[in-house]
């Protein structure tokens, strides 16, 4: 198995560390309005913790910890295994995470009750919980679009069975995969344009201005700021200062912008501010997920 190029590994690290940075930065202002953020912080740009969860500085929320749980399951199984992923989410929930969305909790409890890997489609499953945690699937299936789509939908349906959740998860995952593999801006943009063409609800230009937990609002906010702001810092700061579901919008914007610039382009002060245990787990998991992807590539 040939090793992945160093620049690709750097972009993969940038995506995962960027996700955690955006999560930690956005958690401070989650559920606040832009006006409230301006009143309290001016422009919020420092990882200081606090927020409604009263987090210590550098701590992350369910966006990052669910991603890590899913990634650990994929690594341990040597690839996508829905039962392993479901068991990982059960262990994550039993570990008393700082936060868990209602749809994620309901799906995990359904699996505990009946062992099913998907519930029926539900209008109430249109949140962003499946979208926020899909990065490990992107990295573990790099270079295999069919495996990516199969595993992405599988992990979505463990908790969220909704056509718009599926569509956003696939589109933003494909954007991330292209960025990690060093594709150009036009290749990345075509996935966003295809999402809007198939589901006009996701139109983000002009930006509607909603940044809540509904997957459409989340995707619009992330896509708007990703394409509008060329630098990692400007992209993530602009995103989290929209407030509302700022940990998730920040995490996803950080993932895309981090994949674009690579870990070498991430602000040092934000990397230093991340909780060390989280930083170290991400570093280990990125390498392990790329090993899984490399094994698929070598078949």
299: pLDDT strictly greater than 70: no
Distance CA 271, CA 243 (A): 22
Distance CA 47, CA 61 (A): 13
Distance CA 239, CA 242 (A): 6
pLDDT for res 296:
75
The SS3 call for residue 55 is: strand
Q: Taking a C-beta distance cutoff of 8 angstroms, is the pair 168, 202 a contact?
A: yes
CB-based contacts of 218, cutoff 8 Å, min separation 6: 128, 131, 168, 211, 212, 245, 248, 249, 252
Report pLDDT digits (tens) over 225-259. 999 999 999 999 999 999 999 999 999 999 999 99
6-297 to CATH, choices 3.40.50.300, 1.10.4080.10, 2.40.50.140, 3.40.50.150 = 1.10.4080.10
The domain ranges of the chain are 6-297
Distance CA 285, CA 281 (A): 6
Peptide bond into 82 cis (omega under 30): no
Report pLDDT digits (tens) over 165-221. 999 999 999 999 999 999 999 999 999 999 999 999 999 999 999 999 999 999 999
Counted residue by residue, the chain has a size of: 299
Report pLDDT digits (tens) over 17-42. 999 999 999 999 999 999 999 999 99
What pTM was estimated for this model as a whole? Answer: 0.97
**Structure tokens that stand for 86 in this block:** 């479901």
Distance CA 170, CA 198 (A): 12
**Structure tokens that stand for 265 in this block:** 């382009």
């Amino acid at each position: 198995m040939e090793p992945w190029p160093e620049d690709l590994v750097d972009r993969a690290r940038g995506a995962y560390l960027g996700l955690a940075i955006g999560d930690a930065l956005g958690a401070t202002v989650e559920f606040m309005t832009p006006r409230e953020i301006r009143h309290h912080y001016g422009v919020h740009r420092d990882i200081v913790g606090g927020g409604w969860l009263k987090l210590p500085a550098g701590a992350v929320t369910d966006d990052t910890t669910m991603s890590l749980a899913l990634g650990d399951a994929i690594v341990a199984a040597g690839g996508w295994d829905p039962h392993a992923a479901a068991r990982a989410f059960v262990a994550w929930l039993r570990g008393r995470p700082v936060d868990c969305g209602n749809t994620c909790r309901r799906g995990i409890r359904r699996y505990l009750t009946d062992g099913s890997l998907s519930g029926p489609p539900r209008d109430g499953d249109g949140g962003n919980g499946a979208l926020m945690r899909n990065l490990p699937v992107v990295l573990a299936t790099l270079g295999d679009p069919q495996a990516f789509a199969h595993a992405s939908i599988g992990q979505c349906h463990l908790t969220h069975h909704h056509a718009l959740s599926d569509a956003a998860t696939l589109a933003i995952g494909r954007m991330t995969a292209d960025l990690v593999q060093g594709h150009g801006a036009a290749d990345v943009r075509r996935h966003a344009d295809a999402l809007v063409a198939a589901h006009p609800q996701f139109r983000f230009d002009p930006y509607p201005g909603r940044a809540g937990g509904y997957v459409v609002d989340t995707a619009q906010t992330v896509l708007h700021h990703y394409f509008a702001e060329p630098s990692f810092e400007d992209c993530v700061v602009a995103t989290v200062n929209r407030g509302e579901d700022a940990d998730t919008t920040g995490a996803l914007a950080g993932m895309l912008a981090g994949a674009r610039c690579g870990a070498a382009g991430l602000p040092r002060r934000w990397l230093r501010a991340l909780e060390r245990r989280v930083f170290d787990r991400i570093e280990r998991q990125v390498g392990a997920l790329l090993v899984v992807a490399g094994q698929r590539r070598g078949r």
